[in-house]
A and B are shown apart, each in its own frame.
Chain A
Amino acid sequence: EPEVTQTPSHQVTQMGQEVILRCVPISNHLYFYWYRQILGQKVEFLVSFYNNEISEKSEIFDDQFSVERPDGSNFTLKIRSTKLEDSAMYFCATPARTYGYTFGSGTRLTVV
C-alpha cells in the first residue's frame, strides 16, 4: 500500500477552469510538500505546508495557487484559473522516516 496517495492520476481541464489535486498520506504528518514537473524538465518545488500553514513557497506558487488541509487527513492543491503552462505532473510528498521525502505517484494535469 502506497504511503502517499494522489487523486486523480490524470486530469484534463480547459484553460481558465479551477482544478483541485488531492493527496492523502498514510501517516499523520505535520509537514507536507507539493512539487511540479513539466514534461521533460526538472522537478520543481512549489510549496511546503507545516502545521496548517504555508512555511515556504517558490516563485512559481503565485496567487493562482493555494493549499489546504480541509479535513485533517488530506491535503489539496488548488489552481484557480488554469493556464496552458500549468500542464505538468504534480507530486505531493511527506517526510520519510529517516530524511528525504516519500512522494505520491503524481497527478498528470493537462490544460487544453
Chain B
Amino acid sequence: AQSVTQLDSQVPVFEEAPVELRCNYSSSVSVYLFWYVQYPNQGLQLLLKYLSGSTLVKGINGFEAEFNKSQTSFHLRKPSVHISDTAEYFCAVISLIQGAQKLVFGQGTRLTINP
C-alpha cells in the first residue's frame, strides 16, 4: 500500500521569503503525485500534479514541485511567499495499479506567513 509523509506539520515563514514544503512517498508501483491547498474554512484545491514527463511541474499561485524518483520525494516550493499563501498544504499520491484510483493524503503542512 502507498503512503505519504509530510515531514513538517507547521512551517512559519516571513513574507517574501522562499519556502519548501517536504513530501516523501512510498509505493511499490509507479505513482501520480499531487499537491492540494486548503485555505481556512474552505475545501481542497489542486495546486499542481505530476503525471509524467518533466520532473519539475509548475502550478497555480507561483508554486512548483519537483519529482525525485530516487529519493521518492515531491517537495513543493515557492521563491517568494505572500500573506495570502497562509493555508494547509496536502501532498497526495495515486498508485498506478489497475482499478485503484484511491488518492492517499499526507498529514498536511500548515504554512503560516508572517509580515
State the A residues within 8 Å of B (CB). 31, 33, 41-45, 48, 55-56, 91, 93, 95-96, 98-106
Contact = CB atoms under 8 A, between A and B. Distances in A.
Contact of B102 (A45, A96, A104, A106): A45
Q: Decide if the interface of chain A is mainly helix, strand, loop or mixed.
A: strand
Interface string B31-57: 010101000001111100101000000
Contacts, number: 51
B43 A99 contact: no
B107 interface: yes
Contacts of A106: 43
B43 A100 contact: no
Interface residues of B, number: 23
Interface of B: 32, 34, 36, 42-46, 49, 51, 90, 92, 94, 99-108
Given A31-B101, A42-B106, A48-B101, A96 B43 contact: no
A33 B44 CA distance: 14
Contacts of A105: 42-43
Closest 6 CB pairs of A and B: A105-B43, A103-B44, A43-B105, A42-B107, A106-B43, A103-B43
A55 B99 CA distance: 9
